[in-house]
């Protein structure tokens, strides 16, 4: 079955950091854009004659809220044709061709194990959707650990919002770590994401599901380290960003 494409209208654009933007897109042909937290949409951008070289996929950063509007958070990639077009050509009121929701990177039906949500960069998008959905719908769960790696303070996405969610939601832990920050303004964790989950799981494995989202190198390393801790491949779920 061929997926249907829809015309979306960009209703709002906000700079989240120096090189990332939040895009709100409304799909007028739908009363409700129904998706599961963790899914993505594919945009067809007018950047190439070959359709497969025009398609760019982005995780939905917003949670299902009963509307026909979604939010994407996108980083400007140096030399990237897709993001250069989105940043230079797309304004509020612009149209975008999209299809979705797509993907199976979604929460288990029953959250009866600890959740380790491990991400880098804009890989936080699907986990923001998941965490807010769980919170707003009071879904029973074990501990949820959002382990988020960036290079510098200026790279962090949604830090205030994630801190507020941690304060309001028992059992949700926001654990950002910075790999290159040397400012005294940062009093949080330093280093890479792997150290955090390895330290937490030291001394015996408890039942857990691992969701990994971000750059390929981080995911490949995390997958191997988690397997080395004694977990099974079925405990590990991936969403790879090229």
Helices 159-168 and 124-136, packing angle to 10 deg: 30
Q: Give the strand order in the sheet containing 189-190.
A: 189-190, 172-178, 144-150, 114-120, 208-215, 236-241
Of the candidates 43, 10, 42, the one whose C-alpha atom is nearest the C-alpha of residue 27 is 10
CA distances from 17 to 24, 53, 75, 121, 165 (A): 16, 27, 9, 11, 20
Is residue 83 a known part of a binding site? yes
DSSP state of 12: E
Q: Which residues pair with 96 in a beta bridge?
A: 8
Q: Would you state the structure tokens that stand for residue 152, as one six-digit string?
A: 């510098």
DSSP state of 204: S
Is residue 38 a known part of a binding site? no
The answer to whether 212 and 222 are in contact (CB under 8 A) is yes
Q: Residues comprising the binding site?
A: 82-83
Q: Residues comprising the binding site for FAD?
A: 82-83
């Amino acid at each position: 079955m061929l997926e249907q494409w829809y015309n979306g209208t960009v209703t709002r654009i906000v700079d989240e950091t120096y090189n990332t933007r939040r895009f709100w897109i409304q799909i007028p042909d739908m009363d409700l854009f129904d998706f599961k937290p963790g899914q993505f949409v594919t945009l067809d951008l007018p950047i190439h004659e070959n359709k497969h070289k025009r398609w760019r996929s982005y995780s939905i950063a917003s949670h299902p809220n009963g509307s026909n509007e979604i939010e994407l958070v996108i980083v400007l990639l140096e030399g990237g044709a897709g993001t250069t077009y989105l940043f230079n050509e797309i304004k509020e009121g612009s149209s975008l061709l999209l299809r979705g929701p797509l993907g199976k990177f979604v929460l288990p039906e029953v959250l009866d194990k600890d959740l380790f949500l491990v991400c880098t960069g804009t890989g936080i998008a699907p986990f923001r959707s998941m965490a807010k959905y769980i919170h707003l719908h009071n879904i029973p769960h074990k501990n949820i650990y959002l382990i988020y790696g960036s290079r510098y303070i200026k790279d962090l996405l949604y830090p205030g919002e994630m801190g507020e969610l941690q304060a309001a939601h028992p059992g949700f832990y926001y654990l950002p770590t910075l790999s290159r920050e040397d400012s005294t303004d940062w009093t949080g964790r330093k280093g890479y994401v792997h150290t955090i989950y390895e330290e937490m799981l030291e001394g015996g494995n408890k039942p857990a599901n691992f969701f990994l989202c971000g750059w390929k190198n981080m995911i490949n390393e995390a997958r191997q380290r988690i397997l080395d801790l004694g977990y099974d491949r079925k405990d590990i779920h991936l969403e790879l960003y090229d």
